[in-house]
Amino acid sequence: MFRFINRRFALGWAGAGLAVAIIAGLSAGATETGETAAEVKSTAATDVAAEIDRLLSGQLEKSGTSLADSTSDEDFLRRATLDLAGTLPSPAEITLFSLNPDSNKRAKLVDQLLSEGDFAQNWSRYWRDVIFSRATDMRARLAQPAFEQWMTRQLQQNRKWDEIVTELITATGDVREVGQTALVFSHGGMASELASETSRIFMGIQIQCANCHDHPSDIWVRDDFHQLAAYFPRIRARRIQEENRRSFEIVSFNVPDGGRRRQAFNPTFLMRRFDKDRDGKVTKDEVKDSPLARAFDNLLRRGDSNNDKALTLAELRKLPPPNNAQRQSSEYYMPDLADPSSRGKRIDPVFFVSKTGSKSGLRDQDRRAELAEVLTAKDNPWFAKALVNRIWGELLGEGFYMPIDDIGPEREASFPEVLNLLSNGFTANDYDLQWLFRTIVNTQAYQRQIRARDASDISLPFASAAPTRLRSDQLYSALTGVLGLTDTANRGPQRGGAGMYRRPQSGRGQFAALFGFDPSTPQADITGSVPQALFLMNSPLINNGVRGQGNTRLGRILEKFNDNDDALSELYLLVLSREPSTRETKIAKEYLDEVGNRREAFEDLMWSLLNSSEFLSKR
């Protein structure tokens, strides 16, 4: 049905490249802002935004970098609505916003978007992607719907960031009902994985690089990583098996070393339990109905010294501890790299940033609560900086540190005085998330026009806006909105045969499986794929939605506007949130004349706009 259309029309927007430019480093002697935390707190977000622009403009002009002009009202409305609400503005909203003479209308729009429910839902989906994209436990998706619901409630109530993080770190309960268990369940309660992700997500510090050796490019040493992991050994993901329901729960495991749970790894106990014929050996047939059956072949390979297909007490005693031995202990042991078969060195919890140690013998909940307290403390600068850098990077396309989750004392930030100003303000305002969004979106840095840049451009960042690829949820909401389709709810993983879980069956869930990516990934590393292109070109969802007849959005446009110029303007407002340029109008009218069939030509035009890089990106 669809004809080939000149790519110049489909890409009427200049600047389609998404590469992040090389950032020129600032001098090591950059001055800090003189604002104190109290002064920042007493200042309105719009005033802090103005101070940010003053600092940025001064440094950019000093370096000889020209600043892009402020973007148009239409582009600002689209950009802010996508960023804050996760969807597109309607043609009527675009027209009314453009005609509004209020000089303060942009700031008022930001306040409105932050107060509406779409903001909470949009950013709960963002944090879902951050947490679940790097899950190491394949069962983690089971907890996804509960997490989205919980996180949406937190954002609707404007809960403080430190309170949200504390709940994520200290959570227990059924993963299908207690959404804040998502982080712990995503890694099966494994101490080392939780230490890595807690540090990366909430402080932007890649402490996992110090797991096996001192950090190769930062000040952290191996003990720092394992002392952080020592906050988490007393967590378990335990199966809940009911007649018509399957789930898991996060529970505390506080059995001390030497307790009865360690008997399962005691050679004498194993011999006494499984040597049923009392011949001094344990065979595979003797363990066939026990939990040891699945691991017995591996035990034979490692311990059967005389190849008689059986294990004696002496052979059992020579075996190194099973890989999950530490999981049966409520203490943490740092592996001995020189002797991997040993249990390793017992480590007590210490927070590596402040070197704050934990009290000996604390139970699981107390340990994790203590970690949350020192992690979110106002004297931990990395907690505020990590979130500020992440949100700034998501909204502007690149952060003060890149990648956004790799910051630290040995890294050099661009515009450190601006980062400090924002971080101080975020901290002084008690980690108020809406304050942070309001401040950033009200800056001229956020509101500048897009300017073409390439890898050879060494100018400083933030002199112009950077186009960024839409996240899967933003793109799905935009598509369903433009096509007038129902946004089906994500029901989460569905149970399949043999206890397995299938992918999400909702339209949004399937779309996320194809278009989703980890939001921590730099924009330069996010590229489209052939399956994505084929979906956008051939999907029945799109092809049926662009039909210019019946009750489709395009059909109603063609019925309402008999004049092709008017219909074309409405189509552009619907899909791209702007009027067509003179050149685009000329090309479209020539195409209408060439095809000769108004409905078919407009179907092709709409299809081309939906497949353009402008629609797929935030401009």
Same domain, 209 and 268: no
What domain range includes position 152? 120-237+352-375
Would you say the C-alpha torsion 128, 371, 192, 409 has a positive or negative sign? positive
- 572 Cα distance to chain centroid: 31
Tell me how far CA of residue 274 lies from CA of 217, 261, 320, 503, in angstroms: 51, 17, 19, 41
pLDDT band at 262 (very low <50, low <70, confident <90, very high): very low
Segments of 421-486 assigned E as strands: 468-469
pLDDT reading at 252 higher than 60: yes
Tell me how far apart the alpha carbons of residues 492 and 148 are, in angstroms, rounded to a whole number: 10
Express each pLDDT in 475-518 by its tens digit.
Answer: 999 999 999 987 655 444 444 433 434 455 688 988 999 999 99
* The pLDDT of residue 339: 81
Q: Among 406-420, 421-435, 524-538, whose mean pLDDT is lowest?
A: 524-538
Higher pLDDT: 569 or 330? It is 569
Helices assigned H by DSSP within 442-552: 444-447, 472-483, 507-515, 530-538, 540-545
Express each pLDDT in 93-111 by its tens digit.
Answer: 999 999 999 999 999 999 9
Give 201's contacts (C-beta < 8 A, 6+ positions apart). Answer: 130, 131, 183, 386, 405
Residue 315 belongs to a domain: yes
Express each pLDDT in 336-391 by its tens digit.
Answer: 888 877 788 999 999 999 998 887 678 999 999 999 999 999 999 999 999 999 99
* The pLDDT of residue 493: 45
- Tokens 């709960």 belong to 124
Residue 164 belongs to a domain: yes
- Highest-confidence range of 34-43, 244-253, 414-423, by mean pLDDT? 414-423
Q: Among 206-215, 326-335, 401-410, 519-528, whose mean pLDDT is lowest?
A: 326-335
Number of folded domains that form the chain: 3
Express each pLDDT in 37-79 by its tens digit.
Answer: 555 555 678 899 999 999 999 999 999 999 999 999 999 999 9
Which CATH number belongs to the domain containing residue 296 in this structure? Answer: 1.10.238.10
Tell me how far apart the alpha carbons of residues 155 and 157 are, in angstroms, rounded to a whole number: 5
Same domain, 130 and 230: yes
Indicate the DSSP class of residue 70. Answer: B
Measured in residues, the chain has a length of: 619
Residue 78 belongs to a domain: no
Same domain, 179 and 267: no
pLDDT reading at 196 higher than 90: yes
Question: 3-state DSSP call for residue 112?
Answer: helix
Q: What is the CA radius of gyration of the chain?
A: 29
Taking residues 29-35, what's their average pLDDT?
42
Same domain, 224 and 265: no
* The pLDDT of residue 214: 87
Same domain, 132 and 225: yes
Same domain, 224 and 264: no
pLDDT reading at 420 higher than 90: yes
Round the average pLDDT of the chain to a whole number and report it. 85
Write down the number of H helices and E strands in the chain.
29, 13
Q: Is 307 exposed, middle or buried (0-12, 13-18, 19+ CB in 10 A)?
A: exposed
Taking residues 460-466, what's their average pLDDT?
90
Same domain, 163 and 229: yes
Same domain, 218 and 310: no
CB 151 within 8 A of CB 132: no
Report the 10 Å Cβ neighbour count for 249.
Answer: 18
pLDDT band at 527 (very low <50, low <70, confident <90, very high): confident
Same domain, 490 and 613: yes
pLDDT reading at 14 higher than 80: no
Question: 3-state DSSP call for residue 236?
Answer: strand
* The pLDDT of residue 41: 56
pLDDT band at 213 (very low <50, low <70, confident <90, very high): confident
Same domain, 290 and 156: no
Same domain, 483 and 612: yes
